[in-house]
Chains A and B, each alone.
Chain A
Amino acid sequence: MKNKFNHIVIAIVAVGMISLAGWHTVSAQATLTNEQRSQIVSNCVTIKNSLNQLHATDALLRVNRGQVYESMASKLMETFNARLANNGRDVQGLELVTSSYRSTLTNFRNHYQEYDRQLTDTINIDCSENPDEFHASVLDSREKRSIVHEDVKKLHRFIDDYQSAIDDYILNDASLRESN
């Protein structure tokens, strides 16, 4: 009983420390010196222009890359899986990679939406009036953008995985291996 109580106390202390550490990181990120604050205020127009440009180019990137990633799944992976399945082949391995790719693609879309909304919010903040709020919002957008980039890297990894899965498939399929 006492042992259980000790575990609970340790867990509460650990959660508290993690929360404190997290809060400290956030507050450290959001804290600005007077000099930095005045830099934001004086460069407000330039910063806003850069953010607007980034917003537009990232939107273009989302449209073009999204199209490519969607086509990789719908026009290649899924159609090849379907052809194998129609011929009575076992496609479990390939379908597993395809479904992981699909779910990462969904995450990519959702995370981009979150990033886009955050960046829109950032642009709408008046940096000459609220430099602290603006700075915190920029850092939030920065983090959300890095999550989108992580999704892109994962998608590229799944494309490689699918390629390896095809190679394995050919190796394990006697009829294809013999003719090769």
Chain B
Amino acid sequence: MEEEPLTFWAAHRFFLLVLGTIVISIALVCVSLVIYTTSGAIQLDLSRPGYQSVSGHVIRSDPVDGYSASGPVTTETVNEFTALFATEAEKAKAVDAFNGDPLNPEVLEFGQSSASAE
């Protein structure tokens, strides 16, 4: 009895399996890269090229001491919270982030153009 010849798909099923796996992986990588870019995670990733000079300065420990959401509300616990909040608030407000005007054309050595910009 003569064997039936294999169809194209049956003959190349292993190759198709590998190809399908690669295509799915590429699609998933593309999706994750889109999420990485659009979610803003990319801007928090200081391991990117060009950020090595500052990546060592990231504060890795928790910057704020927490307060428990459970427990009684008494004068002591409220006072404890107000003292903690005052300390942390002071730390949070200590840095006036993004102040100054480093993009002022004059600062960037553009010459007189700052006058027209203001």
Contact residues of A with B, CB < 8 Å? 28-29, 31-33, 35-36, 39-40, 43, 46-47, 50-52, 54-69, 71-72, 75-76, 78-80, 82-84, 86-87, 89, 109, 112-113, 116, 135, 138-139, 141-142, 145-146, 148-149, 152-153, 155-156, 159-160, 162-163, 166-167, 170, 176, 179-180
User: Total number of A-B contacts with CB less than 8 angstroms?
Assistant: 177
Are B43 and A59 within 8 A (Cβ)? yes
Are B113 and A145 within 8 A (Cβ)? no
- Chain A residues contacting B111 (CB-CB under 8 Å) are 35-36, 39
Are B89 and A163 within 8 A (Cβ)? yes
Secondary structure class of chain A's binding surface, majority of residues: helix
Are A87 and B58 within 8 A (Cβ)? no
Are B98 and A75 within 8 A (Cβ)? no
| Min CB gap B97→A, angstroms | 5
Are B57 and A60 within 8 A (Cβ)? yes
- Which of B73, B97, B103 contacts A61, CB < 8 Å? B97
Name the CB-closest residue of B to A156.
B93
Are A72 and B112 within 8 A (Cβ)? no
Whether A63 contacts B46 in the complex (CB less than 8 A), given A36-B113, A68-B91, A159-B92, comes out as: yes
**Contact segment of B15-23, B25-33, B79-87:** B79-87
| Min CB gap A117→B, angstroms | 9
- Chain A residues contacting B81 (CB-CB under 8 Å) are 76, 80, 166
Are A71 and B63 within 8 A (Cβ)? yes
Are A64 and B58 within 8 A (Cβ)? yes
Judge whether B8 is part of the interface by a CB distance below 8 angstroms. Answer: no
Whether A76 contacts B64 in the complex (CB less than 8 A), given A68-B91, A159-B93, A170-B78, comes out as: yes
Are B116 and A28 within 8 A (Cβ)? yes
- With A72-B88, A146-B98 known, 5 other A-B pairs at CB within 8 A are A61-B98, A76-B66, A79-B67, A156-B93, A176-B78
Judge whether B34 is part of the interface by a CB distance below 8 angstroms. Answer: no
Are B98 and A145 within 8 A (Cβ)? yes
Judge whether B3 is part of the interface by a CB distance below 8 angstroms. Answer: no
